[in-house]
Amino acid sequence: MATETQTQNVSVNNFEQCLKCSICTVYCPVSAVTPEYPGPKQAGPDAERYRMKNKAFFDDALKMCLNCKRCEVACPNDVHIGDIIQAARIKYNTHRPKLRDMMLANTDFVGTMASPFAAIANPILKLKPMKAVLHGVMAIDKHRTFPDYSSRKFESWFKKNAAALQDKFNKHVSYFHGCYVNYNYPQLGVDFVNVMNAVGYGVHLLEKEKCCGVALIANGMPKQAKRQGEVNMTSMRKAIAQGHQVLTTSSTCTFTMRDEYDHLLGIDNHDVRDSISLATRFLYQLIEKGEIKLAFREDFKKRVAYHSACHMERMGWVPYSTRLLRMIPGIDFVMLESQCCGISGTYGFKKENYERSQAIGKGLFDQIKEVNPDCVATDCETCKWQIEMSTGTPVMNPISIIAEALDVEKTRELNKQ
Amino acid sequence: MTTVNNNHYDVIVIGGGITGAGTARDCAMRGLKVLLVERHDFSTGATGRNHGLMHSGARYAVTDHESAKECIQENMILRKIARHCVEETDGLFITLPEDDLNFQATFVQKCTEAGISAEIIDPKQAIIMEPSVNPELIGAVKVPDASIDPFRLTMANVLDAQLHGAEVLVYHEVVDVIIEQDRMVGVKLRNNHNGEELDVYATVTVNAAGIWGALIAQMAGVKINMFPAKGSLLIFGHRVNNMVINRCRKPANADILVPDDAVCVIGTTSVRIPIEECDDMRVTPEEVEELLAEGMKLAPSLGSTRILRGYAGVRPLVASDDDPSGRSISRGIVTLDHEKRDGLAGFITITGGKMMTYRLMAEEVTDLVCQKLNISKNCDTATTPLPGSEPKEETKRFSFSQKAAEGRHGTLDKEIESGDAASDALVCECEGVSVGEVRYAVTKLHVHNLINLRRRTRVGMGTCQGELCACRAAGVMCSDDKSAQKAINDLNGFVNERWKGMQPVAWGDNLAEAQLTATIYQGLLGVDKLANERRIEYYEI
């Protein structure tokens, strides 16, 4: 009996399955630039044994982890190394989040506050004295610029301009737009609606949408993240009950809701997980099945370099976005070597992380400068800020590129039933 | 290595286990001129091959009142004098449905009589206190068991003996005794590294060689009836329990699960073996099966936890002198004054007892030594903290390896270089051993090879069992003693030693780990081909 049970050896986050091969440490972007960081293997499965003995073995160096999950992609034995580290931060970290971290984490709240004052807030946040105050008082690095707040939220645009038109379609999806689309860049949401409508899908908002919580998890506020996650799951269950897939245009929101909810927050999402998808993946799969067709403008010409966001790598979904982009006849497509850009959401905004953040991204920035594309394509909004700030090259979500290249009339014709 | 300047001593202590180390400390603290000799490394015998359990005495309460009383007294003393070797975990004695719950009342009563605090706990409360415990338990008693590191404890005693002037020779084996008329006047030693022999003399020689003490006595023409009993144990990859878990019944096989450092240990079995086998004990598949099956009754999750290795130790059981048949075994401390017993002056054997009661054993034998030397000095070992266990200074430890090193060396960690990248670099990632700690061990703690280093620092004791750390450690040691070939031979020996313990439990992830290790050391580095000395030193294993 005893030896039989030994064949079913399973452990939390597979931490016992670690064979100490250290491949994860080789792929860790932080280890590559910071010798003080013990690396994912040591910080994860190794030190976990000691943390189980005594929580005092929690090492503040774990805060250097980007949660990029590249260690998990590299692991040949399916150890959830990044999860072990994040779970340890949630469980053992004794410091309460600072005001700065609370502000950075509450993208939802800050966005709601800032949007009505966008016209004033945007220029003020760019002023040197303001940046100096943020740097000195809030420890938000002076090199960073907050993404502009939009004066009109995506939700408002949708209700006014699009909502009424959606019911006339035969097929429907729900859209989790995320904070970035809602408060900073509604155009991406508009592009998404246009593309989905062109291929014959009506778009609907969720009954209630909260920030996915990724920044809350990263900044030590798991309880709030869990509350918000539960709201999202409830709304999504309702959408799924109507036969909707829930689509997103952000790789990180998607990853958080599909995997981190279960692994880090203990939210039961097993009945929802498979229905959450990235828009590019959804479109590509429909095209593959022959259910939809895209037609592109002949005059569209663009040199596009694709950057693989870390959480896209973790989900294994990079090919969906890149194959979709490669369908555009006028695209001059360049695949960038997969590297972390260093921003990792709110991580790079913190003064103590700025230099490390830029050192991590340097290889990527150099590549982009060498390739010299018209734009960089990526599925993650924070990668966009980092790459735009560090290279000056504009960055677009693949959905926006598709929307720009799409021959809407022709596509509508092709997808008429 | 300590050089022997003047080869006449008040007392020679044979055996670098905890009894010998403790005796050397006590003798040195009472002002005697002491030589401690050990044929291999410290704590290679029974001392380094037990549970690492600091008994409360509860296990013996029902069957052996005297032992139980000794245990709880020493338990309380060790918490004070050996703080850095002890983790105050407390222990549970659980009753399972198949056990007799009536035993619990007797158990608690006997514990109380021996001075052991034994508190009956509601089974539901016990599960909250120790979530890994078998949820089917019907009774639980909380006792002051704890976890203790025998390697550290031995080393701390040796260090203190040295601080009080004792000289220490490791890898020096007693090959003969020197007897003049009816008195033992010294011993003949062989240096096990180079084969050289030397004679050393003392007024009194203390035989603290554990089971091997029977062989020392034999050299002196004295007979001690010893019954070697092998006990096997399994080490798991990480802790499942944070309290010691025992079965509340008469002591039996595999009924103690102890959390030690980052691992936990289940044991033991008990098999009589001939004394010749004591130098090369193997854990059998039947023993593994029994340990696992019984262990799962204490904590079911052991069934699905990775097992790192198996090992076996030998209990030095001694026949009572008053029983001519030799069948009646004394579990208590046995001090044999061979002058009175056998007419051989200058020779004393200290044996029996337990690791738990080493200090008391040392006190008893040192009292006798002092009596022979006509010295009257009180024993201070019960009140003087061991080196490393002095009151804690308020220092802030930040990194993982600094915290781990403080755990291992107590206040002596201040001697470990740190603060620069070269010293803080990790040699052993599983156990958080830095280059600085390895250097400290090599220069201060009698380290001659990687296996010695492992006993001092836990290098190679973690999940990877030397896969990554062994070659790094060999590198650090090599750059320190400039001998590459020696380091390669050492590395080869170390990896084989690790494999010996993994072999009895080589399946699943542990086997995959071993294969990766073999690929690195054989396939990639060719260490087995580079080594020019393949003598397998069983006693080291």
Q: pLDDT tens digits, residue range B159-197?
A: 999 999 999 999 999 999 999 999 999 999 999 999 999
Q: End-to-end CA distance of chain B, in Å?
A: 22
How far apart CA B282 and CA B294 sit, in angstroms, is: 20
pLDDT at B466: 94
The residue of chain A with its CA nearest to that of B426 is A38
How far apart CA A257 and CA A212 sit, in angstroms, is: 7
Q: With the C-alpha atoms ordered B387, B481, B35, B456, is the resulting torsion angle positive or negative?
A: positive
Mean pLDDT within A344-372: 95
Q: pLDDT for B110-147, tens place per residue?
A: 999 999 999 999 999 999 999 999 999 999 999 999 99
Instruction: Return the CATH number of A11-92, one of 1.10.1060.10, 2.40.30.10, 1.10.10.10, 3.40.1710.10.
Output: 1.10.1060.10
Residue bearing the bigger pLDDT, A123 or B34: B34
Mutation target among A46, A48, A54, A79 for the B interface, most CBs of B within 10 A: A46
Chain B residues with CB under 8 Å of A50 CB are 262, 400, 403-404, 432
- Judged by DSSP in three states, B141 sits in strand
Considering only CB atoms, B293 lies closest to which of A1, A42, A52, namely A1
pTM score, whole prediction: 0.93
Q: Is B349:B214 a contact under the CB 8 Å cutoff?
A: no
pLDDT band at A120 (very low <50, low <70, confident <90, very high): confident
Cα dihedral B443, B448, B452, B457, rounded to 10, equals 20
Mean pLDDT within A92-110: 83
Mean pLDDT of chain B: 92
Q: pLDDT for A178-232, tens place per residue?
A: 999 999 999 999 999 999 999 999 999 999 999 999 999 999 999 999 999 999 9
Nearest to A347 by CA among A140, A183, A184, A182: A140
Q: pLDDT for A319-356, tens place per residue?
A: 999 999 999 999 999 999 999 999 998 999 999 999 99
Mean pLDDT within B258-268: 95
CATH number of A302-408: 3.40.50
How far apart CA A171 and CA A165 sit, in angstroms, is: 13
Distance from CA of A47 to the nearest CA of B (A): 7
Q: pLDDT for B457-510, tens place per residue?
A: 999 999 999 999 999 999 998 876 567 888 899 999 999 999 999 999 999 889
pLDDT at B2: 44
Chain A residues with CB under 8 Å of B285 CB are none
pLDDT at A72: 98
pLDDT at A340: 97
**Alpha-carbon Rg for chain B in angstroms:** 23
Q: Is B268:B233 a contact under the CB 8 Å cutoff?
A: yes
Query: Which 8-state DSSP code applies to residue B19?
Result: H
The residue of chain B with its CA nearest to that of A10 is B304
pLDDT at B323: 61
pLDDT at B280: 83
How far apart CA B446 and CA B294 sit, in angstroms, is: 38
Q: Rank A284-298, B497-511, B520-534 by mean pLDDT and report only the highest.
A: A284-298
Distance from CA of A27 to the nearest CA of B (A): 17
Chain B residues with CB under 8 Å of A8 CB are 304
Contact A20 B400 (CB under 8 A): no
pLDDT at B1: 40
Q: pLDDT for B45-76, tens place per residue?
A: 999 999 999 999 999 999 999 999 999 999 99
Contact B426 A21 (CB under 8 A): no
Q: pLDDT for A129-160, tens place per residue?
A: 888 888 888 888 888 888 888 889 999 999 99
Domains along chain B? 8-46+151-225+326-373 (3.50.50.60), 86-147+227-315 (3.30.9.10), 400-540 (no CATH)
How far apart CA B338 and CA B183 sit, in angstroms, is: 10
Beta bridge partners of A171: A201
Chain A residues with CB under 8 Å of B244 CB are none
pLDDT at B539: 43
pLDDT band at A6 (very low <50, low <70, confident <90, very high): confident
Q: Can you list the pairs that B521-530 forms with residues at least 24 positions away whose Cβ atoms lie under 8 Å?
A: B521/B470, B521/B471, B521/B491, B521/B492, B521/B495, B525/B471, B527/B488, B527/B491, B527/B492, B527/B495, B528/B492, B530/B488, B530/B492
The residue of chain B with its CA nearest to that of A22 is B468
> How much of chain B, in percent, has pLDDT values that exceed 90?
83
> How much of chain A, in percent, has pLDDT values that exceed 90?
80
Query: Which 8-state DSSP code applies to residue B238?
Result: S
ipTM, two decimals, is: 0.91
Phi, psi of B197, deg, nearest 5:
-110, 150
Mean pLDDT within A76-84: 96
pLDDT at A174: 98
Contact B398 A59 (CB under 8 A): yes
**Is the model's pLDDT at B329 over the cut of 90?**
no
**Any idea which residue has 């599983």 for tokens?**
B430
pLDDT band at B395 (very low <50, low <70, confident <90, very high): low
Contact A7 B512 (CB under 8 A): no
Nearest to A29 by CA among A15, A21, A39, A18: A39
Question: Where exactly are the structural domains of chain A?
Answer: 11-92, 302-408
Distance from CA of A68 to the nearest CA of B (A): 22
pLDDT band at A107 (very low <50, low <70, confident <90, very high): confident
How far apart CA B12 and CA B373 sit, in angstroms, is: 13
Nearest to B204 by CA among B355, B24, B39, B6: B24
pLDDT at B328: 63
The residue of chain B with its CA nearest to that of A20 is B464
Mean pLDDT within A392-415: 97
**Is the model's pLDDT at A307 over the cut of 80?**
yes
